[in-house]
Amino acid sequence: MPRTEGPPAQPTDGSVAAFGALLTRLAKKAGYDVEPQRGGRKDLAEKMGMSVSAIGRNLDGISLPRLSQFVPWARAVNVPVRTLMVDGGLVPPEEWPENAVGSVPSVAPSPGVICDALGIRDPMVRGMLEGSIEQAQRMQREADGQAATARGH
């Protein structure tokens, strides 16, 4: 099975078990028999390109999916990613309103807001991502300045 680098994100508020219960309910509703040894976990693993043990850890509330696995989970259980994030208790509903799909903010979000939106909570991971975003912004400003100079502005 393909493996995504890095450990899965873990909230500090004890919501991993609740998230696992939500995934289990949604998987059953989507037609997967996810009780151990029943085949549904294997079916999900094959569909999502994950190991059966990772599926089990997510369903059993032992660990959260990796960030890259939220979309496959949402597709497998036929719900929007927002449902997983909000109903799973990972993002407060006011931070991801239902009508936010397709909305464009009037100002660019800060690197911290981007981390929050993606559910990045680990201080080391946040620092790395925020630093990368800030560096990309600086590089873009420099490139824009060079392009303006080349045009004679």
User: Taking 70 as the threshold, does the pLDDT of residue 2 lie above it?
Assistant: no
Cβ count near 84 (within 10 Å): 22
Q: Between 137 and 146, where is the model more confident?
A: 137
Q: What is the DSSP letter of 95?
A: G
User: Taking 50 as the threshold, does the pLDDT of residue 12 lie above it?
Assistant: no
pLDDT number for residue 29: 94
Cβ count near 112 (within 10 Å): 13
**Overall residue count recorded for the chain in this entry:** 153
In this prediction the pTM is: 0.57
Sorting pLDDT into bands at 50, 70 and 90, what band is 36? confident
